[in-house]
Structure 1
Amino acid sequence: MQEADYLIIGHGLAGATLAYTLRRRGRRVLVLDQYQPDSATRVAAGLINPVAGKRFALAWRIQDFLPAARAFYKELEAELGRPLYHEKPILKLFGSVREQNDVLARSAGNPWGDYVADPAQPLPEVPGLEQPFGGLELRHGGWLDTAAMLDGLAEDGRQNGWLRAETFKPELLVADAGGASYGPGLRVRRVVFCEGHAATANPWFGWLPLTPNQGEVLDVEAPDLPTDYVLNRGAYVVPVGEGRVRVGATYRWPPFSPEPTAEARAELSQRLHELTRTPFRVTGQRAGIRPAVRDRKPLLGTHPAHPALAVFNGLGSKGVLLAPRLAELLADALETGAELWPEVNIIRYQALYPVTLPPAATPA
């Protein structure tokens, strides 16, 4: 019988960062994952934005997350021997006089620290860019080539035997006081579910309040757009090299479309038209389903009745920023019993757990 310390279900952003973190600690890890070309991680532009949202506030715990993300992705770049993390300033362009006034009024107290350049300084003049209301330059942002990261790790996983290209079958999993068995040939100390939006059907963690939403992005040829900045006004525009940019993203609540939609293509094209006078050509369109959570905080922790089972999910649209630090946090909790942050611990949703059901190690 094969033995491992951890069985990880899913190799998207959550599963990949957790598996790497645990393997870096010397743990024996096995990952089960069935490749999906339009998974949320592969569709995402991988944007790291330190200041975002309608309130234009600093991202949650940015001082914890950003240094951890930068160090993690740079280490991974060196190990995989390929560029992954691209640090670029973000030009946040105002869409109206009202937005301009609201944000500049808030700037008096310098609420953003070093993450925003001096608001009194004008933005750089960028040929072809529409910026009638001005904007701000955000520092320490950038983007991660998520597909390249997953491809590099998956190649290593196949070569070294820690990644299996197979679909997880819940009926084969049996949890007990000492760990868990999967089928007749595998025994592990813990199982961690990193399934993204598919966790809504998970027999052990389906009670958690995941609220998936669908996002679409465009791949665009725009050789005249600037390559030194990520652009943001109503949509993000991420330069990905060779005169190409990625434009996104839309938000759609269920029911989801099985294919990319004409409506999303028109919406994102219009947003790009409003941003630039330079010509561009849409070359591709993709849709993925994000694993979001009701309170917009991720889901980490062990099962209330089966401590050998754990979950790492709900990273949402800021997953690239959050995943490395949260993977360390969960690894510490699983390895040493360290406390999880209350904002992410699934115990905050304990009231939703169906305690009326008879305790069972396997789904009915």
Structure 2
Amino acid sequence: MRPAPSCQPIALHRSMSTAASSRDCLVVGGGLAGSLLANRLLDRGWTVDLAADPSTMPASRVGAGLITPVTGRKFGLTPDWGPLSKTALEWYRAFEKQFQAPLLAPLEVFRWFANAEEATAARRRRRRLQPAGWARPITTAEQAAWEPFFHPPHAGLVLTGAWRLDTAGLLDHLHRRLAAAGRFIPQSLPPPANEAGDGYAAHGIRYRKVVWCEGAGVLRHRGADTLPWKPSRGELLEVEIPGLRLDAVIRRGHSLIPLGDHRFLAGATYDWDHPDQTPTPEARAELESFLHNLLRVPSTITGHRAGVRVGTPDNRPVAGPHPLHPGHWICNGFGSKGSLLIPWTVEALAHHLVDGTPLPPELLPQRFSRPPPPEPPPNRRPTTLARQAVCEILRPGDAALDATAGNGHDTAFLARTVGPRGRVAALDIQPAAISSTRRRLTEEKLLDRVTLLQADHGDLAELVLFPPGVRPTAIMFNLGYLPGGDRRLITRPASTLRALEAALTLLAPGGILSVVAYPGHPGGAGELAALQTWLTTLPPPWQVRRLGDHPPPDSPHPRAFAVLQPPDPRSSP
């Protein structure tokens, strides 16, 4: 690993203040990686904007900001610690000088052994760690000073050379700097689409390059599974312990991390099965048990944080061209070592973007051999086929229904198709989906012809969506989960079949019902099977069409269907 040049913040270039319809780069994601990259490109003279949704909590703000040379149950030295720590500490000290604020604090880590396995591993590693200055014994004076506060450990070891970064404070300074330069966009942006050519367009500005530094947001990208991301939810408790002053991390299974003024963080947990940002009672109970077994004195829980770390199988970050989108780059996969890994990675990526310097091979997405899944041509994708089928039936001035609004793509399509004299209703059970759809409709100036309703599509029969006598000519279903949302929240066979039955009673004569089903996620194959069985039971005069060439039965790729109702013969001239 080659050393990265030091970060020396410089004054803003005058060229940055000139408005233009095109700019060099858009960085998406307001965590540590995106914020450092945007500021570094700004220092290099690029016209760059940072887009960050202030309503979301990046993992950088949730985490403790620890930088530790010795980690893990086996007390291993962090790979490439020398160049990584050199770059990280130089950057953070430079920012302390630039912003005239303390951001970095040295720490020791008191590793109290949780079990015999840890004690055995420490004895094996101590012969290497102590001569190198990475470890020392716990002194009798230290044990005596902390005995009133902690249940005594069986044994332990002090790990040296660690640091704690005030990531929240640094992010605030970086965002204020960008905002003062007019380079901060306080909102989220949709993931990359299938755009032809390089770049990205947003808010009337064309960006030559776009870098996605969204952390867990990368999971909502098309083809996210072409890279073997390893997301995990981490949770911490904010704790007050009166009388305890501590300038070291106490680790016994979990960690107790000092924040100053008797405030601490306790954690973090790891949950690989549910990578979302929702704090859970299970993790709270786990951390409360840790505190109970660690402390002799009372503590007060003042907060509960949750965030998603995104790692990789080889525990190295990913920085390089997006495997599916030309002109787009990824900077992600830092796991729980973001404070250490990000500065070196960002500097390498900035040199690549500005100077054309090749990226280190260990960062490139191409190091993972999994090929992208084959996709049909754009005009043969199931969602496109469903819209093409609807376009054959739906006319300006008609009514239409999007029964699963999601991120609003089908809703906007229906609203464009029916025109200003038509009417569209869209519903979704998730508030995030309704908000995303409303944002899309507002940007496309279509909101005035759409009624949005937060509701379960399984309750379709009880909902009043249109005025009396108005029936939708087209009803669209796009099953599965909300892209970019909680993948555990999916459409279910029972509620979907109820919704489909209700849709048939609502549909206008000569209308069309389209369904796109996704068997590739947990629960999706069962829903597809239930849908296919239901379609085979529809009596005449309903007509069922399979749209496009369906893949083999065991394929995870989506399928599209259409159900058509012949026109009412009484309405014929």
Q: Is this a same-fold pair by TM over 0.5?
A: yes
Q: Secondary structure at the match of 1:141?
A: strand
Q: What's the CA shift for 1:283?
A: 0.9
Contact 1:90-1:138 at 8 Å conserved across structures? yes
Superposed, which structure 2 residues align to 1:342-361 within 5 Å?
A: 342-354=361-373
CA contact under 8 A between 1:94 and 1:233: conserved in structure 2? yes
Q: Compute the displacement of 1:250 (Å).
A: 0.6
Structure 1 residues 243 and 269, CA gap change in structure 2 (3 angstroms)? same
Counterpart of 2:142 (choices 108, 124, 141) is 124
Q: How many Å separate the matches in 2 of 1:305 and 1:211?
A: 19
* Residue in 1 that maps onto 2:154: 133
- Distance in 1 (CA, whole Å) between partners of 2:203 and 2:193 is 8
1:155 is matched with: 176
Structure 1 residue runs without a partner (length 5+): none
Instruction: Determine the structure 1 residue equivalent to 2:228.
Output: 209
Residue 270 of structure 1 corresponds to 289
Between 39-48 and 198-207, the greater mean CA deviation after superposition: 198-207
Given candidates 9, 14, 26, the residue that maps to 1:7 is 26
Report what 2:205 is aligned to.
186
Find the counterpart in structure 2 of residue 83 from structure 1.
Answer: 102
Q: Could you tell me how far 1:201 is from its partner in structure 2?
A: 1.6
Give the match's secondary structure for 2:126: helix
Contact 1:224 1:278 survives alignment (8 Å): no
Alpha carbons of structure 1 residues 332 and 300: separation in structure 2 relative to 1, 3 Å: same
Structure 1 residues 256 and 336 mapped into 2: Cα distance closer, same or farther (>3 Å)?
A: closer
Cα distance in 2, alignment partners of residues 206 and 170 from structure 1: 14
Q: Are 1:305 and 1:359, in contact at CA under 8 Å, matched by a contact in 2?
A: no
- State the match for 1:294 in structure 2: 313
- Matched residue, 1:40: 59
Alpha-carbon distance change, 224 to 310 in structure 1, aligned in 2, over 3 angstroms = same
**Aligned residue in 1 for 2:301:** 282
Output the amino acid matched with 1:271. F
Deviation at 1:170, TM superposition (A): 4.1
**Correspondence 1:93 to 2:112:** yes
Query: 1: distance between equivalents of 2:252 and 2:127?
Result: 22
Structure 1 residues 3-30: Cα deviation after superposition (integer angstroms, max 9, x where no partner)? 3221111111210121122222222211
Change (3 A) 1:170 1:263: closer
Inter-partner Cα distance in structure 2 for 1:58 and 1:113: 11
Q: Secondary structure of the equivalent of 1:95?
A: coil
Instruction: Work out the percentage of aligned pairs sharing the same amino acid.
Output: 35
Instruction: Give the CA deviation at 1:150.
Output: 1.5
Q: Report if aligned partners of 2:234, 2:271 keep a CA contact under 8 Å in 1.
A: yes
RMSD (CA atoms): 2.6
SS of equivalent to 2:320: strand
Q: 1:312 Cα shift?
A: 0.1
Could you say if the C-alpha distance between residues 258 and 72 of structure 1 is closer, same or farther in structure 2, counting changes exceeding 3 Å? closer
Q: 1:237 to 1:37 in 2, by over 3 A?
A: farther
Partner residue of 2:83 out of 64, 68, 74: 64
Shift of 1:73: 1.2
The alpha-carbon distance between structure 1 residues 172 and 88, as it changes in their structure 2 partners (threshold 3 A), is: same
User: Would the alpha carbon gap of residues 168 and 319 (structure 1) be closer, same or farther in structure 2, given more than 3 Å must change?
Assistant: same
How far does residue 320 in structure 1 lie from its aligned partner after superposition? 0.8
| Residue identity matched to 1:86 | A
Structure 2 residue aligned with 1:225: 244
The number of equivalent residue pairs is: 359
Match of 1:31 among 50, 68, 74: 50
Residues 161-185 of structure 1: per-residue CA shift (max 9 Å, x gap): 1111122134788452xx4240472
Number of the residue aligned with 1:311: 330
8 Å contact 1:6–1:29 — kept in the other structure? yes
Instruction: Name the SS for the 1:343 alignment partner.
Output: helix
State which drifts further: 89-98 or 14-23.
Answer: 89-98
Q: Distance in 1 between the 2:117 and 2:275 partners?
A: 34
For residues 170 and 131 of structure 2, the distance between their equivalents in structure 1, rounded to whole angstroms, comes to 30
Q: Is the 8 A contact 1:173 1:182 kept in 2?
A: no
The one-letter amino acid of 1:124's match is: E
Aligned equivalents of 2:203 and 2:67: distance in 1?
A: 43
2:475 matched to which residue of 1?
none
Residue in 2 aligned with 1:52?
71
- The Cα shift of 1:355 comes to 5.5
Q: Which amino acid aligns with 1:66?
A: S
Q: In the alignment, is residue 22 of structure 1 matched against residue 41 of structure 2?
A: yes
Pick from 145, 155, 164 the counterpart of residue 185 of structure 2.
Answer: 164
Partners of 2:199 and 2:280 lie apart in 1 by 42
Give the partner amino acid of 1:25.
Answer: R
**Residues 115/3 of structure 1: CA separation in 2 closer, same or farther (3 Å cut):** farther
**Which secondary structure state, in structure 1, belongs to the residue aligned with residue 242 of structure 2?**
coil
Deviation at 1:258, TM superposition (A): 6.0
Give the match for residue 259 of structure 1. 278
Preserved CA contact (<8 Å) 2:192 2:222: no
2:219 corresponds to:
200
Question: For residues 326 and 276 of structure 2, what CA distance do their matches in structure 1 show?
Answer: 36
Q: Which amino acid aligns with 1:142?
A: W
- Give the conservation status (yes or no) of the 8 Å contact 1:197–1:210: no
Alignment correspondent of 2:122 = 103
Shift of 1:357: 5.5
- 8 Å contact 1:219–1:247 — kept in the other structure? yes
Q: Which has the higher contact order (CA 8 A, sep 6+)?
A: 1
Shift of 1:347: 0.9
Please, which of 130, 134, 143 is the counterpart of residue 164 of structure 2?
143
SS at match of 2:349: helix
- State the shift of 1:300 in Å: 1.0
Q: TM-score, normalised by structure 1?
A: 0.89
**What is the correspondence of 1:328-347 to structure 2 with a 5 Å cutoff?**
328-347=347-366
Q: Which residue of 1 aligns with 2:416?
A: none
Q: 1:56-103: CA deviations, max 9, x gaps? A: 101121111111111111111222232222221111111234422331
Where do 5+ consecutive residues of structure 2 fail to align?
Answer: 1-19, 385-573
Greater gyration radius: 2
TM-score (norm 2): 0.58
